[in-house]
Amino acid sequence: MTAMMNQSATTELKMAPRGGAFAGGLLAIDDLTGDQIREILTLAASVKTDGCVLGGAYAGALAGLSVTMLFEKPSLRTRMSFDIGLTKLGAHVVYLDHASARLGAREAVKDYAKNLERWTDAIVARVFKHAVLEELSAHAAIPVVNALSDLEHPCQTLADLQTLIERYGSLDGLKVAYVGDGNNVCHSLMLACAKLGVSFTAVTPKGFEPRFGVVKSATAAAHETGATITISRSIDDIKGHHAVYTDTWVSMGQEHQTGLRGGEFTHLQVDADIMAIASEGLEEPAAFMHCLPAHRGEEVTDDVIDSAQSLVYEQADNRMWAQNALMLKVFGKQ
């Protein structure tokens, strides 16, 4: 994670207390160790169990702190889970909509960051380009949290892992398959699985594989934990995987590629047949996962996403609890 910038004594007096290794926020799963991921997941389970309601163990834990949410992309789950979740913890949230004017267009990102650090205690940013997050973090003397970029979606992955733990009791011995576009969601999930010893298989069309640098980093981590990382174009390689994860074939900002991508992905639509392949050799059917929004009838069929094996709404629920745990860590409250 990005180190805190040097700052004047005047500015430092305005800063909220920070929390150790999480002091700079979180830009990428690749910045965390396996132990740090486990810390967040353990706390997320506690936050969910004990609650943030009046009288709960974490109610008011972030009272007096303000968090700014900068969103270049629209959102349902990310906005609601951060806004309501932080409010449950007692923080004040300010939402800044940058859908029509991206960061850096009206004012330099550096100047934006240096202004925000005077008023707010952390920045949660949902952006098109990961470089914008890095620039914000480099110039703001407050934590910056990645709520989605083109490179990674770390908060989603934390919620996904929490959901898998709830389903299977632990992550030990699990295998996770990702089917579709090797995008930001694929990147974060693959890296986290590698760091936690969970074997991971990505099945993508040719030309839509996850980025080489991410695969290289995940493979190195997997070597240390005993996990395996497989990048494939054959759906048969997902046999015996406990979860099948997919995402939209065209991400926000790539709509101009819709016509080009459609035909490349149709054979990877997650239907009952693909779920049956994943379930081969397992004691119970494989779970289905999707970060949403889903394009029903495209990357997944209705009978799969609405099945008893589908975890999509549990994933959405856990966005709030995983993010609350992360923010408690960022502010040094746990």
Two tokens at 123?
Answer: 């920045």
Give me the catalytic one of 52, 193, 291, 315: 291
Q: 9-153+319-330 maps to which CATH number?
A: 3.40.50.1370
Question: Could you give the C-alpha distances from 40 to 20, 155, 188, in angstroms and in order?
Answer: 13, 11, 15
| Least confident among 21-30, 36-45, 209-218 | 21-30
Give me the catalytic one of 77, 79, 126, 139: 126
Report pLDDT digits (tens) over 43-93: 999 999 987 777 789 999 999 999 999 999 989 999 999 999 999 999 999
pLDDT over 80 (residue 258): no
Distance of alpha carbon 189 from alpha carbon 206, whole angstroms: 20
Give me the catalytic one of 317, 319, 323, 334: 319
Is 296 annotated as catalytic? Answer: no
Domain limits, CATH 3.40.50.1370, in the chain: 9-153+319-330, 155-316
pLDDT of residue 16: 41
Is 36 annotated as catalytic? Answer: no
Is 52 annotated as catalytic? Answer: no
pLDDT of residue 20: 61
Is 267 annotated as catalytic? Answer: no
Q: Is-contact 283 239, C-beta < 8 A?
A: no
Is 247 annotated as catalytic? Answer: yes
- Mean pLDDT, residues 172-192: 98
Is 92 annotated as catalytic? Answer: no
Give me the catalytic one of 31, 155, 156, 181: 156
Name the band, by pLDDT with cuts 50, 70 and 90, for residue 257: low
Diameter of the chain measured on Cα atoms: 62
Give me the catalytic one of 18, 98, 153, 187: 153
Give me the catalytic one of 121, 160, 181, 247: 247
- Mean pLDDT, residues 251-274: 74
pLDDT over 90 (residue 17): no
In this structure, whether the domain defined by 155-316 belongs to CATH 3.40.50.1370 is answered with: yes
